[in-house]
Every structure is written in structure tokens, then in C-alpha cells.
Structure 1
Amino acid sequence: MPRESFHSNVRRPDGLAFYCRDCAAQRSETSRRKRGVQPRKRSAEPVPVGSQWCPDCDTIKPLIDFARTTAKASGYHSYCLTCHTARGVESKIRLNGGTREYHLRRRYGIGQADFDEMLWRQFGRCAICRAPDPQHVDHDHRTGAVRGILCFNCNGGLGQFRDNQDYLAGAIEYLKGTTWQRTLIHPGVYRITSSMRERPPSRSS
């Protein structure tokens, strides 16, 4: 048989595989059947250029509906975006009991039970502003240690200030010196005052 009928094998003297391509494929399929592996699904219709067949939903879709990957020769995942996402969710539920549990353990090293206990210790409120039902885990970005449960605004605020106590203290002093205060001078009449008198209040005040 011609050399083109064999796969390459650098470990053999002639640089070719012992079995030809067809025989190697047949032996591989026989081995899969013995191990209980189901036959590989194939599209019943020809797949046009610029498209790919998804074995889960058995649909031919344009390549834009498939995520890119360098692990495949085609440059695209085998499953379309919808099926790929569904498979990921199923795996997280099967291995971790849910996507929330997976996220907590992967990102913070805690489970839902740990989250619930921390929130219970905070009386079900944000550790900073005391807003009810916070859902965000706050952690030290240097050590990764979990510090508490915060609401969306407080968690984002700490991140914007980069956990710097000097910046936060400066923000407090800034607000004290620039926030306009309403002072009652007569029933129903208020005077708006600020330490920065040259700056008029904004239209939204």
C-alpha cells in the first residue's frame, strides 16, 4: 500500500504506523464498542462550508453559533453555544449540586452552607449599610480570605476604592466638607448651606 495510506509514527523505523488508516480506524471503533462507548454521531445531511453540525441538538448552524477553541482542529467547539452552556450547567449541578455552589467554591472556597451561616451571623443584612438580603461575597484581593456578605453597592464601592482605608477616610472628609445641608429656619422653610459656598447645588439636588 502507498505511504499515504498510513499515519505517521516517529517511533517506528520506517516512520509509519503498523496499521493502515482504515484498519486503524476499524480497530479503534471496535475497542470503543468493547468499552461501552457509543458510536460517534454524524450529521445525516451534508454540512455546508461556514457551518457546523451540533450532535446534541442535531442541527446544522453557522460557525458564529459555536464558541472558538484552540483545542480543536476546526477552531470551534463541537457543541453550539446553547448546548455548550446547557452541558456546563448540567455538569455544575451534577458535580456541585448547582451553579451557585460551583461559583462559591471555585471563586471563594466556600459553599452555600458557609454563605448562609455568614449571612445569619450578620442578621441577614449587609455588613456595611445593613440593607436586607445581600448576595455578594466580599474577600481580600491580596489573600483571598472571605470577609463578609455585602450588598451590590457596598461591594462595588470597596472595589472602586481598592480596599484602601486612606481613600475611604478621604471620601468621608470630602463628603463632610462638600455635602449641602438643609437647616430648618422657619416651619416649612429650609436654608441650604455648605462649606463650599462658591459652588451652587446641582439641579438634581
Structure 2
Amino acid sequence: MSDMSDSGELDSVHCPQCGRDLPRSEFHSNRRRPNGLAYYCKRCAAERSEASRRRRGISARRQAPVPVPDGSKWCPDCETAKPLTAFARTRANASGYHSYCLLCHNARGNETRQRLYGAPDPQHVDHDHRTGWVRGILCFNCNGGLGRFRDNPVFLAEAITYLKGTTWQRVLIHPGVFQMCSPMRGRPPSRSS
């Protein structure tokens, strides 16, 4: 059972996952909770986190096979302990350092850029909807844009006029002093609004 200390705080806290009464030091802090502690003990929180990762198809966290010396950190990608200077600083982690060393961190970023943005846009055949004749090869967005404007040059010209008229521009009002203004300010609304 939980005992109260002289300061009125509980000496032990109950973990609903494992059903044990544990010292306060066995819980992470959480300022949003009334007692200032996490709902589950550290061990149960770690188990729940790993179970969640497995359900989402994320592999288990890799940990150093041997204790890491002070002033060093283990990189799970290259599986080596390196000095802290080999890791980028961050406020996101409690340690103050990224999980991966600079080399692995950069390699991961490059791989992600290649995977997400490195492939050329697929090419799409653009055709005239009235005649069916092929006009050329376009990227997906340009082909879709022409289709949405129904191949009408008047609609495209109105879109260009709209974009030119709503772009905020710097206007010099005094030497070295600029004001941001829109040419649309004060104009009557368009037909479609």
C-alpha cells in the first residue's frame, strides 16, 4: 500500500499494468498528470512501447551489446559506440543527441530523399479531348491541370490574371521602408466569389 511522506507526497505509486506499488523513481515524470508522474512504471511503459512498435510493423529497438563508456553513445545503424561529438545535438531526445551518428543520420536523410523525391515524375500522355489526338507527354500535375481547366485558354488566362493580382508585393513607401500590399485589396470580388 502507498504510504504518505512528511511532505504529503506518496512514497510509492501503483502501476495499473503490473499491479505493483513502486517508488516514485520507477516512473517517468509527466507534468500533465496530477501527481507529476507517468501512468505506467518505466518497465511497463517500455513494454507497451515495444508492443506498439511491433503492431505497427516497426522492428524492435537495437541496443548496445556491451555497456557504453561515459562520454560516448551507441549508434544502432553502424552498431558502434562513438564519442558524443560524432552525434548531432537535438532537444527532442532526453540525451540531447540524435539517435544515430552524423554519418548514419546523413545516410538515412539521403536515402529518404532518394526514395521520396529522387525518381523522375512518371510521364503522362496528353491528348485533345475533342479530337483524341495526342499533343505530347506531360507530368501528372500538368496533365491534370489542363484537364481541370478543360483545355480552355480563357480559363487559363483568368487563372494567370488571378495569380498576378493576388500576389503580395513589396512597395517602396520611403527610402529603405517597404510595405507589403496586394493589388487585389480594394477591388470588387470576382464573378466566382
TM range (shorter): 0.3 to 0.5
TM-score for both structures, normalised by structure 1: 0.42
Higher-helix-fraction structure: 1
